Amino acid sequence: MSHSRTYAQAIAEASYQAMEMDESVFVVGQGTRDRGHIFGSVEGLLARFGPERVIEMPISENAVAGICVGAALSGLRPILVLQRADFSFLALDQIINHASKFHYMFGGQTSVPLVVRLIVGKGWGQGPQHSQSLHSMFAHFPGLRVVAPANPYTAKGLLLNAVFANDPVVILEGRSLYGTTEVIPAEPYTVPFGQARVIREGTDITIVAVSFMVPEAISAADELNLAGLAAEVIDLVSVNPLDVDTIVTSVQKTSRLLVVDTSWSYCGISAEISAVVHERLFGRLQSPVRRMTIPFTPTPTAFELEDRYYPTHVQIAQCAQEMICGAELCPTGPTS
Amino acid sequence: MSADKLEILKKMVRVRMVELYVAKRYPEQKMRCPTHLCLGQEAVPAVCGYFADRDDIFVGTCRSHGHYLAKGGNLTALFAELLGSGKGCSKGLGGSMHLIDLAVNFWGTSAIVGGGIPIAAGAAFRLRYENAPQIVVAFLGDAAVEEGVVYETVNFALLHKLPLVFVCENNTLAITTPIELRQCSTTLHDRFQTMGMNSFYVAENDISQLMAAIRVSYDHARTGLGPAFIEYRVSRWCAHVGPAFEGPVDLWWQPPAVSSGGYGCPICVMRDELIAEGAISLECIRSLRQQVQEEIEQAYREAERTAGPIGQDPAAFVYASGLACELPSRVRPIRDIEFHHAETSKIVNAF
């Protein structure tokens, strides 16, 4: 059985099925009683499971994260959702100093099966504090799994995998992807961590894209195709661990790599991917690795400025074409 | 009552003597981790440990040797942990600041001030979630009451009536900074009272009052009436970290004539009460001292004998499970959600 689901519905469905399968799963967040159901991503949960398992949180991100850590240490499987990833900075002491370290620092005796769902805003002037893509920062810390699904199928499977993992998992969800529709299995299923997704096969260049840059990269590949160039598009999906094999195998074939990220290039996952590829394929690339990311500034709010802030499929296609054809260097991004 | 006091005295003596032993051996530089002793602060661990059931849960701080021992934590594993041994209570990966003994429900300690507080509330949340009869005791110092997360947690604990007892040992020092330079008020319990918390203040070395406050709070939490907060004023005799200390650590086993005059020692206070009640003699106390000393030396010898870091690669402890996880088996099919919510306009879509 399969059915059509939006990205938001896929998340709600995964949560629902996890809660049906295991009574230790509960959801906590702000806006669980709101008719918007956290942009639809918790729809149906309160009606089915009641207030004992769908918990409305005070605006106390750090305490609630810590309460989730304590509950997870006790054997429950909390899903903590924050409406904007930016709010997670208030909870980092618990997520990073505690959740990510408890299994290690107590010699493997305890574990923290915690899922933190973070929604990354984009568009409509979300501005500096409602639009940060924090996957690179979370990926810096051992002990966390960090994923950023770009389509409904992956969003559902990764959430189910995360709920039944025994480690803390941070899921970065693209708010702008919430309306994306796809036919997905109705049954519960899992998507493992650490697996990138090859979406388009090609031989001329590898484009690795993150989260809401994936649809842009696909459109760019379509445009390149019209120009007779075959781009291989990889949805990174898993930021920690990184699927080095899939990326390296692809770049071995194409000998060119363009990384398109929703966050900053400086100390970001695009830098890490570039480093790994250079370590593995030094001397075998036909052009330097390029990175297209947002400029190294906070997100502007003004419509026209925000519009120019994010890389577009046109820019991605142009950059790829220049890399393949040896024209001028890629004109966008903070390093150019 | 005397029987309770006697057991509490024994717990205090054991904590005191272990800490003194650590202080004595620490300069040998075999215990190489930041170590925060609780000399002078033995009363709270002893009283809280004595009245707790084995199934009750303790969550501690960076200064938790006493809490660990009073809950029944394994002494050899504590020494081994301080020695960085793979036989330590945290396999040598945590050290003095990260102690755990799950066999007695001592759930671990955080080296971040206030960090264990919401975790303790999370443990209490699970007890509530499953209608379990236990309670959780969260230890904190006065400095933790400067952390926002404590207020956030108190609010949540009250809102959800969690079976949680906050026990605050107010030693008035944050490392060396006095409370007057840090807080708008030097008493801590009263601010939580205004939030609706059952709060208690216990003066230094009023151990009978501490016993009463702990019993009431435990009962309160256990019967579903929600959390309680106890502030106990206490003196820290040791340096913030390391083996240095100043204080009447050895008066308790000497004749009261020598040690009379307040001395500020919780063990002396308890001893004098017990002697007055005819429940104990100085000979008993000296024999207790002898007995505990033997236990400590034997435990330390055992810990030293098995010292050496864990053999296995500690990287194995970074993650608890693999990349692909299994779904639980299902007893019945799951019906589909009927989705009604629809994003109707482009503008809504963008929020």
State pLDDT tens for residues A184-240: 999 999 999 999 999 999 999 999 999 999 999 999 999 999 999 999 999 999 999
Mean pLDDT of B330-342: 79
Task: For residue B133, give both structure tokens.
Answer: 């009869």
Report whether pLDDT(B131) > 90. yes
Q: What is the pLDDT of residues B194-203, one digit of tens each?
A: 999 999 999 9
* Best CA proximity match to B65, nearest among B17, B3, B5, B121: B17
Contact B318 A143 (CB under 8 A): yes
Nearest residue to A109 (alpha-carbon basis) of B125, B116, B164, B316: B316
Predicted local confidence at residue B343, as pLDDT: 63
Active site residues of A: 130
| Section B150-154 average pLDDT | 98
CB contact under 8 A, B336 and A71: no
Q: Which of B325, B327, B337 sits opposite A13 (nearest CB)?
A: B337
* Percentage of residues of chain B with pLDDT beyond 90: 89
Predicted pLDDT of residue B194: 95
pLDDT at res. B130: 94
Measuring CA to CA, how many Å separate B59 from each of B34, B172, B320?
Answer: 19, 21, 21
Six-digit token string for A9: 């519905």
Contact A14, A27 (CB under 8 A): no
Residue A327 pLDDT > 70: no
Class of domain B2-315: alpha beta
Write down the pLDDT at residue A328: 56
- Please indicate if any CB of chain A lies within 8 Å of the CB of B277: no
Pairing of strands A169-174, A181-185: unpaired
B242 Cβ under 8 Å from any chain A Cβ: no
pLDDT at A112: 98
How far is CA B50 from its chain centroid?
13
Asked if pLDDT for residue A115 goes beyond 90, the answer is yes
Kindly state the helix (H) or strand (E) to which residue B50 belongs, with its residue range: helix B43-51
Q: What's the pLDDT at A29?
A: 98
Task: Name the percent of chain A lying above pLDDT 90.
Answer: 97
Place A106 in a pLDDT band, splitting at 50, 70 and 90: very high
Arithmetic mean of pLDDT, A168-183? 97
pLDDT band at A335 (very low <50, low <70, confident <90, very high): very low
Q: What is the pLDDT of residue B157?
A: 98
For the domain covering A197-325, report its CATH number: 3.40.50.920
Nearest-CA residue of chain A relative to B93? A105
Confidence at B351, pLDDT banded by 50, 70, 90 = low
Whether B29 shows a pLDDT value over 80: the answer reads yes
**Contact check, Cβ <8 Å, A12/B339:** yes
The answer to which of B208-222, B287-301, B330-344 has the lowest mean pLDDT is B330-344
Number of residues written out for chain A: 336
Could you tell me the residue ranges of all domains in chain B?
2-315
Mean pLDDT computed over A243-253 = 98
**A93 contacts in chain B (CB < 8 Å):** 112, 115, 149
pLDDT at A334: 45
Select from B90, B321, B349 the Cβ nearest to the Cβ of A106: B90
Contact indicator for A107, B92 with CB cutoff of 8 Å: yes
pLDDT value for B300? 98
For residue B173, the model assigns a pLDDT of 96
Q: How many angstroms separate the CA of residue A233 from the nearest CA in chain B? A: 23
Taking residues B312-333, report their average pLDDT: 91
Please, what is the average pLDDT of chain B?
94
Q: pLDDT tens, B35-90? A: 999 999 999 999 999 999 999 999 999 999 999 999 999 999 999 999 999 999 99
Give the closest-approach CA distance of B155 to chain A in angstroms: 8
**Over 80: is that where the pLDDT of A41 sits?**
yes
Task: Give the model's pLDDT for residue A163.
Answer: 98
Percent of chain B with pLDDT over 70: 95
Q: Do B318 and A106 touch (CB under 8 A)?
A: no
Q: For residue range A271-298, what is the model confidence (pLDDT) as tens digits? A: 999 999 999 999 999 999 999 999 999 9
* pLDDT over 70 at B259, yes or no: no
Interface test with B, best of A35, A37, A45, A74 (most B CBs within 10 A): A74
* pLDDT (tens digit per residue) in B87-124: 999 999 999 999 999 999 999 999 999 999 999 999 99
What distance in Å separates residue A141's CA from the closest CA in chain B? 10
Residues A82-105 have pLDDT tens digits of 999 999 999 999 999 999 999 999
CB distance from B349 to chain A under 8 Å? Answer: yes
pLDDT of residue B330: 75
pTM, to two decimals: 0.96
CA distance to partner chain B, nearest, from residue A33 (Å): 13
Q: B304 with B50: CB under 8 angstroms?
A: no
- ipTM score: 0.96
Least confident of B43-47, B313-317, B326-330: B326-330
- Label each residue of chain A as H, E or C: CEEEEEHHHHHHHHHHHHHHHCCCEEEEECCCCCCCCCCCCCCCHHHHHCCCCEEECCCCHHHHHHHHHHHHHCCCEEEEEECCHHHHHHHHHHHHHHHCCHHHHCCCCCCCCCEEEEEECCCCCCCCCCCCCCHHHHHCCCCCEEECCCCHHHHHHHHHHHHCCCCCEEEEEEHHHCCCEEEEECCCCCCCCCCCEEEECCCCEEEEECHHHHHHHHHHHHHHHHCCCCEEEEECCEEECCCHHHHHHHHHHHCCEEEECCCCCCCCHHHHHHHHHHHHHCCCCCCCCEEECCCCCCCCCCHHHHHHHCCCHHHHHHHHHHHHHCCCCCCCCCCC
> Is the Cβ–Cβ distance between B37 and B240 less than 8 Å?
no
Under 8 Å between Cβ of A183 and A10: no
B118 to A67: CB separation less than 8 angstroms, yes or no: yes
Cα gap B259→B275, rounded to integer Å: 14
Helix, strand, coil share (%) of chain B residues, nearest 5: 45, 10, 45
The full set of domain ranges for chain A reads 2-185, 197-325
- Which among A44, A73, A93 has CB closest to B123? A73
Flag whether pLDDT at A151 surpasses 90.
yes
**What mean pLDDT do residues A142-151 have?**
98
What CATH code is assigned to A2-185? 3.40.50.970
B1 confidence band (pLDDT: 50, 70, 90): confident
